[in-house]
Structure 1
Amino acid sequence: MPTNIPAPQFTATGFVAPAESAILAGAQLDINTAFGGVLDQSLTTPQGQLAMSEAAIVGDANAQFLALANGVDPAFASGRMQDGIGRLYFLTRLAALPTTLQISCSGGLNVNIPVGAQIQDASGNLYACTTAGTIPASGSITLSFACMTNGPIAVPSSNSVSIYQAISGWDSVTCISGVIGRNVESRTAFELRRQQSVAMNSIGMLDSILGNVLNVSGVVDAYVLDNPTGSPTTIGGVTLGANSLYVCVAGSYTNLAVAQAIWTKKPPGCAYTGNTTATVTDPNPQYSTPPSYSVKFQAAVNTPIFIAVTLKNSSAVPSTALTQIQGAIDNAFSGEDGGIVPRLGSMIFASRFYAGIALLGSWAQIISVQIGCGNNPSATFTGSISGNTLTVSSVASGALAVGQYIADAAGAIVSGTQITAGSGTSWTVSIAQTVASETMYGVVPNQNDVTMNINQEPTFAAANVILTLV
């Protein structure tokens, strides 16, 4: 006996499943016909319950097949299906990575710092030693430590780390430098990288270089540009030398791997613009003495983004509102919400974060979302921080004021540091730390959008979100 339940269709637009209401009507008709057409059609009856169950089973099967059909299309694939498409291009999803630090460990002669030895930053994040070492006669040794939690945790300032697990003779630690970690690669970011990887098969084009560099282990973002003119040209806030290739790279990578990726795809005879140099040796076995080439590229500057969110105040706003908003903005920055990920040289709109905040609940009644970064500082100055005191030696432009966030290009200042009081040359900041005299800038998130220079990688830290209820 034929069924009255409508079948799915394969059309020019793909798999189209019937509405579940139509499936239910067909199941009801089937059951009623089987019993002579005299049954009560109410859904509260036993036959109505059977019809609803059958409709739910058929609807679920259709939904599962629809997910499978969408999974073979790169535009919609996610999870394991997207991983499978990536494997066709010899790509694997980038795993989450921890923030890594270079730590100067001081103490007595011949004191051994083993793998797994732990330190802690001012926010309570733990870091484990990844390379064992023994303190020499100089009294200190620099070792690598990795955060025990994956993700983009901000690099702490030099004196905001301490020993967590005591080792006899190990006296103190100082953070020398660090590389911010990352979340697992999102669906959107993985698909973009797959598209760009296709260009790896060509040579000489900018897309060829970009695709090859993005395929280097540890690279999370890159920007490629050239200056074909015979004189220096300023583009996106960066001056490119005459007839030069410019490649900016963000992430945790080896300089040689990036240089090799550039060299193998670049057109011959061009110059380079950048602040990082690595020597690449031609691997051609025909050379008895292989020639070497100095390849230059730009190491991206991690540039913090500051966001001010103003909501309408009400009794419905939960005590966890700030934490939830920080999470929504973090999802947008990492592309977990399916939107565009802020990148090198991109324009970032404050409106990009509206949807995620609004979806938190009816209590999230947005009055405004505004954004700011070092590209539009309210003040640029030379200063140092000791404890909670910011000492300003000179002001290059603008004026400092209470409420400004403080940041720097080197990343030595702890994310979320804000001026809370002061005037003239002495100010109070919200987070105690030690930062040597350097160029700093004060930022107020008061714009609707910001444009990143082509050497700036936008970064997000939860501490850089301020919430106001009015």
Structure 2
Amino acid sequence: MADYKYINSTGVIMPDTADVREEVCDEYRGVFGDDVITDDWTPQGVLINAETKARTTVIENNAGLANQINPNIATGTFLDAIWALTGGQRRGATYSQVVGKCSGVAGAPIPAGSRARTKNGDEFATLENATIGDLGYVYVIFQATETGPVPAPVGSLTQITDAVLGWETVTNEAVGTLGQDVQSDVSARSMRRKTLALQGVSTTEAITSALYDVPGVRSLSFRENVDDTEKVVDGVTLKPHSIYVCVDGGTDEAIGEALRVSKSAGCGFNGSTTVNVTDPVSGQVYAIQFDRPEEITILMRVYVSSRAMSTVQVQNAVRLAIVDYTRGEQDGEDGFTVGTDASPFELASGVNRTYPDIFIKKLEIANSADQVFSTNTIPVGIWQKAGTAESAITVTIE
């Protein structure tokens, strides 16, 4: 290619493949004459198509590389580098864990790394050495051998993989804690936008950025009162010169520390949850206040039609897709968040995104407090969060 002309002062140009081919054809005509045949079936046509493919590949590669400097499009290590400029980083993969009850001969040792499997074949290993007690059992923390959300429902960890003398049975009396996969590019870009002011203090953006950076925080609401008198803001009474945050997820201690380091000096707090945080410089103890969201249970009636699956499959698929959407487990979707109204339209779109073959005829929702079903949006206060469960969803196939 004699002259690469697809980058100019306005940015990167992505030409049509037909235009690139015509340029190659013009080059052939310039060498072999205007009467050269460039149809696909000719030998020269095959060569022209090959050259066109090579050039478009280079153009697409250059455009893709140039887009890596755009944080809204960047991927992989390019996105990680851009995010690091504002102090953020992608959340890595974690392991699922479950507490197993190991039974057998009293005094029998169970070495760290001893493995057991769930009924689905997922493998877990003990994290530390343990010894079966005088009562014939011991509780041990098992960790999945692979990262990501490996489920361990109650009673599912039952198969001993490694033969350990004296260890006879294993089970789990409580559901395991799910791990997570490496944060996806879509999720990372969303989190970056929420934490752009991570290196700042005092402003709304800085405070919310610090809170979103707390591990486990899924959503939050923020309000402030800048007046000298008590004030009601969106249904919440705020003290003079104070802030209000309602946070879903994260530990109380981590949230308290994030508020301490990010809020402005002299600013007060509001909320029903209080945690004492010590300033490492002065040694002063601050009583940090914030709220945890009050959950509103949403009931649903979904009317669908589908020929792609059986009745039971459709019902289970719809319920699972809705629950995944509300929990924010669909990539790029936040789902039900603090202070966000519950919308039947958004719920239906969550189903269609996962199962496009399922046609949603109507989706009605109701607050469990009054159980009045309609297709209207249910308002949610800034101190509340909508939620649902598979048992709260009725699916009717028409």
Say which is worse superposed, 255-264 or 331-340, in terms of deviation.
Answer: 331-340
Per-residue deviation, 1:145: 4.2
Per-residue deviation, 1:20: 0.9
* Counterpart in the other structure of 1:164: 159
CA gap 1:131/1:2 in 2 versus in 1, 3 angstroms: closer
* Counterpart in the other structure of 2:209: 211
* Counterpart in the other structure of 1:75: 72
Deviations 1:186-221 (A, max 9, x none): 334322332333323332333322211222344444
Say which is worse superposed, 132-141 or 261-270, in terms of deviation.
Answer: 132-141
Identity of aligned residues (%): 22
Deviations 1:212-262 (A, max 9, x none): 1222344444443446686695857xx6664564444444x5543332222
Letter in 2 for 1:190: A
Separation in 2 of the partners of 1:463 and 1:31? Answer: 68
1:245–1:273 Cα contact (<8 Å) kept: no
Per-residue deviation, 1:124: 7.3
* Counterpart in the other structure of 1:51: 48
2:38–2:48 Cα contact (<8 Å) kept: no
Per-residue deviation, 1:93: 1.1
Separation in 2 of the partners of 1:455 and 1:155? Answer: 32
Letter in 1 for 2:199: N
Letter in 2 for 1:216: V
CA gap 1:87/1:225 in 2 versus in 1, 3 angstroms: same
Deviations 1:48-67 (A, max 9, x none): 22222222221121111111
Separation in 2 of the partners of 1:59 and 1:363? Answer: 35
* Counterpart in the other structure of 2:285: 292
* Counterpart in the other structure of 1:37: 34
Separation in 2 of the partners of 1:298 and 1:349? Answer: 24
CA gap 1:119/1:57 in 2 versus in 1, 3 angstroms: same
Per-residue deviation, 1:331: 7.5
2:118–2:152 Cα contact (<8 Å) kept: no
Letter in 1 for 2:73: F
- Which structure dedicates a bigger proportion of its chain to strand? 1
Separation in 1 of the partners of 2:223 and 2:187? Answer: 21
- Which structure dedicates a bigger proportion of its chain to helix? 2
Q: Quick one: which of 184, 187, 192 aligns to 1:186?
A: 184
1:263 aligns with 2:260: yes
Q: Quick one: which of 313, 334, 339 aligns to 1:345?
A: 339
2:326–2:388 Cα contact (<8 Å) kept: no
TM-score (norm: length of structure 2): 0.74
Per-residue deviation, 1:87: 2.1
Q: Unaligned regions of 5+ residues in structure 1, if any?
A: 380-396, 399-443
* Counterpart in the other structure of 1:93: 90
Aligned residues: 388
DSSP 3-state at the match of 1:367: strand
1:25 aligns with 2:19: no
1:240–1:246 Cα contact (<8 Å) kept: no
Matches within 5 A, 1:230-309: 242=239, 245-251=243-249, 253-267=250-264, 268=266, 270-275=268-273, 277=275, 279-284=276-281, 290-299=283-292
2:102–2:167 Cα contact (<8 Å) kept: no
Per-residue deviation, 1:456: 5.7
Matches within 5 A, 1:410-429: none
Per-residue deviation, 1:335: 7.2
Separation in 1 of the partners of 2:232 and 2:19? Answer: 64
Separation in 1 of the partners of 2:132 and 2:149? Answer: 30
